[in-house]
Amino acid sequence: DTGVSQDPRHKITKRGQNVTFRCDPISEHNRLYWYRQTLGQGPEFLTYFQNEAQLEKSRLLSDRFSAERPKGSFSTLEIQRTEQGDSAMYLCASSYRGRSYEQYFGPGTRLTVT
């Protein structure tokens, strides 16, 4: 499978716990994006990387959220001290700057905070 992959697909956690999600982009894609989607809404941009550099963070990304992309390959999104309002689908997408404008989405990680 050469698409964007995400792990885990589902995560149930208790309020106050930390969680970490992983995204593996399409090989050679130099841009990687994180979005959050709540029920009945469109995805909202959270942050993006070009290679290993995190170039922009949305104001939606509170201090409890951190993202990394070591060596410009896979990325992780960590949420510390989860709150019920963090329950959502977290989507990762990747693209190749300078080649095509297509942005491909992964299957998402559905987070439920109880």
Fill in the DSSP letter of residue 28.
T
The answer to the question of residue 95 lying near other proteins (CB under 8 A) is: yes
Q: Least CB distance from residue 44 to other proteins, whole Å?
A: 7
Q: Least CB distance from residue 40 to other proteins, whole Å?
A: 8
The answer to the question of residue 43 lying near other proteins (CB under 8 A) is: yes
Q: From the list 19, 23, 36, 48, which residue makes contact with other proteins (rule: CB under 8 A)? A: 48
Burial (CB count within 10 angstroms: exposed 0-12, middle 13-18, buried 19+), residue 86: buried
- What is the three-class DSSP state of 44? strand
Q: Least CB distance from residue 89 to other proteins, whole Å?
A: 8
Q: Which residues lie closer than 8 Å to 18 by C-beta, 6 or more apart? A: 78, 79, 80, 81, 82
Tell me which residues touch other proteins (CB under 8 A). Answer: 31, 33, 35, 40-45, 48, 50, 55-56, 91, 95, 97, 100-108
